[in-house]
Amino acid sequence: MESNAVSAHEPNRRLELTPERMRELGYRAVDMVVSHLATLRQQSVGRTAPRAELEKLLRKPPPEQPAAPLDVLEALGRDVLPNTLHVNHPRFFGFIPSPGNYVSAVADFLAAGFNVFAGTWLAGSAVAEIELVTIDWLRQFCGLPETAGGLFVSGGSVANLTGLAVARQVRLGGRTAGAVVYYSDQTHSAVERGLRTLGFEPPQLRKIPADRRLRLSPETVRREIAADRAAGRVPFCLVANVGTTNTGAVDPLPELAALCRDERLWLHADGAYGAAAALSPRARPLLAGLEQTDSLALDPHKWLFQPFEIGCLLVRQAGWLRQTFTVHPEYMKDTFRPEAEPNFCEWGVQLTRSTRALKLWMSLKVFGVDAFRRAITEGLGLAELAEAELRRRPGWRIVTPAQLAIVSFRYEPSGMPPEDSEAINRRLVEKMRDDGFALLTSTILNEQTVLRLCTINPRTTHDDIRQTIARLAGAV
Ligand SMILES: Cc1ncc(COP(=O)(O)O)c(C=O)c1O
């Protein structure tokens, strides 16, 4: 019987497919991705399925017997992929979207297909060179000195963790006792999680209430530092936000950098989503001071349009990475190289690692940096358009104006009791999610629910924004 199941006649026990079957599966997968991407605007923003439904659909014993690859692919397309939110959808405005791009998806496929090992120069020399080059491009975009270096990691959380580990090593010799870290209450939870992972305890963390513009006030930090010094503690590191997740606020970097110099503090910046805006001439002035950071986390899987997972850490002196992470086990002795040929496994916590650099490098080459620059600038304008659309409708209050492609707002008509307005705003998020046309998420600012749109997808049109605001108004 003719079947496309992997049969005993095929080299299944070697976990191989025949070249024909490999092509068939690969071409079909490409077709699925291309159809998905080409019709994304016409689709809903995706679906969150209830656990019970997914258990029924997907809970099966381990599959002892082989199945036809195309059947498995079909089930994936039917049962799995539609039951996710499409974070690359042009009307996905929630959290920080990940617009992604097709070229980088192909690069990820190539990286997996060739299974390139990017942990050592010996195994992955050319991809290590591509990582050095691509990291250097990001260094240039952010204005860090030529002494700077960095590496790609899984995302912003690990980039922050890695940067803070470097700070701890370089400034404290790895000891945390008595050291204090300063950051605002608008800082992403990844920073606190990273600090906890590194052994800092709650009394060592100064989470300082942000000012009226939701930025870290240098004066307040200065007072906290003085109090800590007076109490015999060791002020050690300040974490600045380069685009908060809540509102896109950027902490006053030049003043904070000066403060860190005066007080001999390490300046780490979390630019997971915002630092990419350094590429846009419109946003660049907002990010002044970025070049003065000792370590900087940024996330190409956000505003540099890469598919998950790719985060990046840049540090002011490339040598700090080795100083923090090098260990030389005997079974790796064949991999030791001259310093000019680095082993990225000595620059971070991962030994075995894929080449995340490849996708960023390939997409920058295919589209060109100017396309990225324009795409980022376009995102800034989309949030401004959303703000303008909301301002001209009665009942809507702009809570924070468009900054770094985030606008936050509330439905709050005059005379409406605060509890009612709170309930309406909460309900709006659910209504929009149920509707599926566009997705936005909420946050809390000054103890109130606030809606926010993050408009970093370069495929979002002005019409998408206008229609989304109209639907939102219609859902009140
Ligand atoms: C400002 C900021 N920092 C850190 C993170 C964490 O990054 P990741 O989710 O890539 O680990 C995010 C994620 O949205 C973020 O917006």
Tens-place pLDDT, residues 152-182: 999 999 999 999 999 999 999 999 999 999 9
318 shares a domain with 378: no
**In a shared domain, residues 349 and 375:** no
Structural domain boundaries enclosing 381: 371-474
- Please indicate, yes or no, if residue 183 is contained in any of the structural domains: yes
Residue range 1-19, pLDDT digits in tens: 344 555 544 557 899 999 9
Ligand 1 contact via 141 beta carbon (within 6 Å): no
Ligand 1 centroid, distance to 274 Cα (angstroms): 10
How many structural domains does the chain have? 3
Q: What is the pLDDT of residue 2?
A: 40
Q: What is the pLDDT of residue 6?
A: 54
Sorted by sequence, the CB contacts under 8 Å of residue 128 that are 6+ apart come out as 118, 120, 121, 341, 342, 343, 344
Q: Is 155 in the pocket of ligand 1 (CB under 6 A)?
A: yes
Beta-strand pair 441-445/448-454:
antiparallel
pLDDT at residue 5, as a whole number? 55
Would residue 102 count as lying in a domain?
no
If asked whether residues 297 and 395 sit together in one domain, one would say no
Whether residues 185 and 82 share a domain: the answer is no
Given 326, 348, 366, which residue is the final one in a domain?
Answer: 366
With a 6 A CB cut-off, is 355 part of the ligand 1 pocket? no
Q: What is the pLDDT of residue 1?
A: 38
Say what the pLDDT of residue 10 is: 53
**pLDDT at 8 (0 to 100):** 46
Residue-level pLDDT at 3: 47
Does the beta carbon of 96 sit less than 6 angstroms from any atom of ligand 1? yes
**100 within some domain:** no
**Contact at 8 Å (CB) between 320 and 170?**
yes
Pairing mode, strands 406-411 and 448-454? antiparallel
Whether residue 137 sits in one domain with residue 62: no
Q: Do 208 and 336 belong to one domain?
A: yes
Q: Indicate whether 211 and 327 sit together in one domain.
A: yes
Any domain includes 99: no
CATH code at 379? 3.90.1150.170
**Ligand 1 atom showing the smallest separation from residue 96 Cα:** 14
Distance CA 149, CA 164 (A): 15
Q: Percentage of the chain surpassing pLDDT 90? A: 97
Tell me, yes or no, whether 267 lies in a domain.
Answer: yes
Residue nearest ligand 1's atom 2 by CA: 272
Q: Which residues of the chain have pLDDT under 70?
A: 1-11
| 132 and 217 housed in the same domain | yes
Last residue of a domain, one of 329, 344, 366: 366
- Residue 77: give its domain's CATH number: 1.20.1340
Residue 7: what pLDDT? Answer: 55
Which residue has a Cα nearest atom 5 of ligand 1? 156
